[in-house]
């Protein structure tokens, strides 16, 4: 399989595959080896030589091996080189030990009616499996699915779950890319979670790492030339996507994407840091992967998507193939985060130095990329291309995610950095933007537990290097004495969600706001249509106010009026010939506002300019009075604004 239509009947051919007639076929791509044998472990331990096929492949079918058997590969007859399967479906005892045979046909799926979500309907909650619950497992997440669905979340995004060294890690140090992490519950645990998500009407986005290999426990380079020194990444050598023998490397990663789609029923992949993927082939690996993924999803009768993380601001990432793009479905919208975060916190360190104005925020909402070819002070050069023509559903913005919390604010969340009113203002802008909003776990109720980088590497030299590297990379953010030890168990434990006080102030009020905003977003065509082209943003830089107007081909329309000043002020509003009715005000007492302060008007009359009074750091959402059901959101405890 090399992508395109050939993947229409795709199934995983490499690794250990249980055959219908009995036995297991072992198949490996290993052009660096002259001989290979499979070592079946357990009571009937034995070594079985493998046949050397063309194109650097080795294979053998062992008739009396079944699901659950442990095995490894003996490389070039060297007894000291007993290695895990590079396409292992399960590493039950960690990255350095034996692989285990898994039969994908054995899992009792119940999601046959699930066909996926339309991309524009994604409202994402990013979470770390180990830190989301006390137990830190796939199946423990299930007890929170009803909560997420009732909140208004439609998709969960799992930070990478491929097997990594030790029991705790962000997941961006993958060693066995096909094996769900054993400490989280392994293959059965992940499938059980996905099945339960679909039963709750939730899509599953899986974060995958195709830009580098983990520094410990990844034995793929012993089998194949998967790395190249032609390019460098922040993690060392790049993946060999365009050098000699790169066809097999490309197949390995495309197969991995199709594997998660097919055997785990995932609804989308989030590709980590694609700016560290280098490929000067005539057909870029991202375009080939996207085509194969899309064809397989169509064959399976499901909607599935690919979302990229990229700091390139290169519209080719999300442009269709027909106009020279890679045709990825969406990408993370970092410029939105940076623009809003700097306004709220005043931070200007590192890449945040390029942001800090309402003009930046307005452009991120109206166009997408703020840096679209203009000069970047941080990079000392022009950066980016225009994304104005691309629809809003191709952008995934946030006000918090794992990277931004850990790397720009000493692990502190917004709840620990800004006031409740500022959090609510940012939330309203995020959810009312013409994009696919992403929340980071606990954000919706103002979690104050930090999110820090943590790991549990076993190689002592690597441990020392990671500690030194983190201190050096983030010296601008941490004093020497404050730098958390990523290897410490306590660092990880500090990052777990508390899940307490959700019925107490200020958590319940912030939770109320998220639920009501997401409910309005779901109900209103103007708020969920992702029509960036029907979004108008007006602002006054010196006066510190911003107004977002969302329209729809139907009569529906919405207007979000935002006061970025700490002081109350009157904001001039052009009614555009329509009557507007208040739907929600972040200063309402049900959202933790001060009931003694005067709120905005319940109506803005058609014709002329109105002067709207808003308290400091407050947002008011209005709906067009001539659209159907423009009444305010119903809350028994709410006081009218």
Contacts of residue 471, defined as CB under 8 A and 6 or more positions apart, other chains included, come to 478, 480, 483
Catalytic residue among 85, 157, 242, 272: 272
**Rounded-to-integer distance, Cα 577 and Cα 559, Å:** 13
Catalytic residue among 279, 309, 447, 588: 309
**Rounded-to-integer distance, Cα 317 and Cα 322, Å:** 13
Concerning whether 459 is annotated as a catalytic residue, the answer is: no
Stretch (H or E) spanning 222:
helix 220-223
Q: Please provide the distance, in angstroms rounded to a whole number, between the alpha carbons at the two ends of the chain.
A: 60
Instruction: Decide: helix, strand or coil at residue 198.
Output: helix
Strand partners, 239: 227
**Rounded-to-integer distance, Cα 72 and Cα 173, Å:** 22
Contacts of residue 313, defined as CB under 8 A and 6 or more positions apart, other chains included, come to 335, 369, 371, 372, 383, 384, 385, 387
Concerning whether 309 is annotated as a catalytic residue, the answer is: yes
Dihedral (CA of 56, 61, 67, 72) sign: negative
Yes or no: say if 73 and 82 are a contact pair by the CB < 8 Å rule. Answer: yes
Yes or no: say if 206 and 126 are a contact pair by the CB < 8 Å rule. Answer: no
Which runs of E-coded beta strand occur in 317-388?
A: 330-332, 374-376, 381-383
Token representation of residue 298? 């169509």
Give the closest residue to 435 by CA, choosing from 123, 154, 117.
123
Yes or no: say if 267 and 205 are a contact pair by the CB < 8 Å rule. Answer: yes
Positions marked active-site: 272, 309
């Amino acid at each position: 399989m090399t992508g395109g239509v050939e993947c229409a009947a795709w199934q995983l051919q490499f690794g250990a595959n249980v055959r219908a007639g009995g036995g297991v076929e072992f198949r490996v791509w290993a052009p660096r080896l002259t001989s290979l044998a499979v070592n079946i472990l357990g009571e009937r331990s034995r070594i079985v030589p493998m046949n050397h096929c063309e194109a650097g492949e080795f294979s053998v079918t062992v008739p009396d091996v079944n699901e659950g058997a442990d095995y490894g590969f003996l490389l070039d007859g060297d007894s000291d080189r007993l290695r895990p399967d590079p396409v292992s479906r399960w590493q039950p005892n960690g990255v350095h030990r034996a692989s285990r045979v898994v039969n994908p046909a054995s899992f009792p799926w119940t999601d046959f009616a699930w066909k996926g979500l339309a991309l524009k309907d994604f409202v994402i909650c990013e979470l770390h499996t180990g830190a989301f619950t006390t137990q830190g497992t796939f199946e423990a997440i299930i007890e929170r699915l009803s909560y997420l669905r009732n909140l208004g979340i439609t998709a969960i995004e799992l930070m990478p779950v491929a097997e990594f060294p030790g029991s705790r890690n962000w997941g961006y140090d993958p060693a066995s890319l096909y094996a769900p992490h054993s400490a989280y519950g392994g293959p059965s645990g992940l499938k059980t979670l996905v099945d339960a998500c679909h039963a709750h009407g939730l899509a599953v986005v899986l974060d995958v790492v195709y830009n580098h290999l983990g520094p410990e426990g990844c034995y793929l380079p012993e089998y194949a030339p998967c790395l190249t020194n032609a390019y460098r990444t922040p993690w060392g050598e790049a993946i060999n996507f365009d050098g000699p023998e790169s066809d097999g490397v490309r197949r390995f990663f495309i197969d991995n994407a199709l594997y998660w789609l097919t055997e785990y029923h995932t609804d989308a992949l989030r590709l980590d840091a694609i700016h560290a993927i280098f490929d000067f082939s005539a057909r870029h690996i991202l375009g080939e992967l996207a085509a194969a993924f899309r064809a397989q999803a169509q064959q399976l009768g499901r909607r599935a998507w690919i979302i990229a993380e990229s700091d390139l601001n290169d519209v080719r990432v999300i442009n269709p193939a027909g106009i020279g793009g890679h045709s990825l479905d969406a990408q993370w919208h970092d410029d939105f985060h940076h623009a809003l975060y700097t306004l709220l916190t005043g931070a200007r360190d590192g890449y945040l130095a390029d942001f800090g104005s309402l003009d930046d925020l307005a452009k991120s909402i109206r166009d997408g990329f703020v840096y679209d070819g203009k000069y970047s002070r941080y990079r000392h050069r022009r950066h980016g291309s225009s994304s104005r023509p691309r629809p809003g559903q191709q952008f995934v913005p946030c006000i918090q995610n794992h990277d931004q919390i850990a790397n720009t604010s000493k692990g502190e969340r917004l709840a620990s950095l800004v006031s409740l009113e500022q959090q609510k203002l940012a939330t309203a802008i995020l959810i009312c933007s013409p994009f696919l909003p992403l929340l980071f776990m606990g954000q919706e109720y103002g979690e104050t537990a930090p999110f820090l980088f943590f790991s549990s590497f076993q190689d002592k030299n690597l441990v020392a290097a990671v500690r030194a590297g983190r201190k050096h990379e983030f010296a601008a953010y941490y004093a020497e004495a404050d730098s958390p030890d990523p290897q410490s168990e306590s660092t990880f434990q500090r990052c777990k969600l508390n899940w307490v006080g959700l019925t107490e102030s200020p958590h319940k009020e912030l939770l109320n706001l998220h639920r009501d905003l997401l409910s309005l977003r779901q109900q209103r065509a103007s708020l969920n249509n992702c029509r960036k082209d029907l979004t108008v943003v007006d602002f006054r830089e010196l006066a510190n106010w911003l107004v977002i107007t969302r329209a729809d081909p139907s009569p529906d329309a919405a207007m979000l009026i935002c006061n970025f000043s700490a002081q109350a002020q009157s904001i001039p509003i052009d009614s555009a010939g329509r009557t507007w009715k208040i739907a929600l005000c972040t200063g309402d007492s049900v959202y933790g506002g001060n009931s003694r302060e005067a709120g905005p008007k319940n109506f803005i009359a058609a014709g002329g300019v109105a002067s709207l009074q808003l308290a400091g750091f407050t947002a008011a959402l209005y709906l067009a009075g001539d659209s159907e059901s423009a009444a305010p959101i119903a809350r028994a405890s709410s006081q009218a604004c």
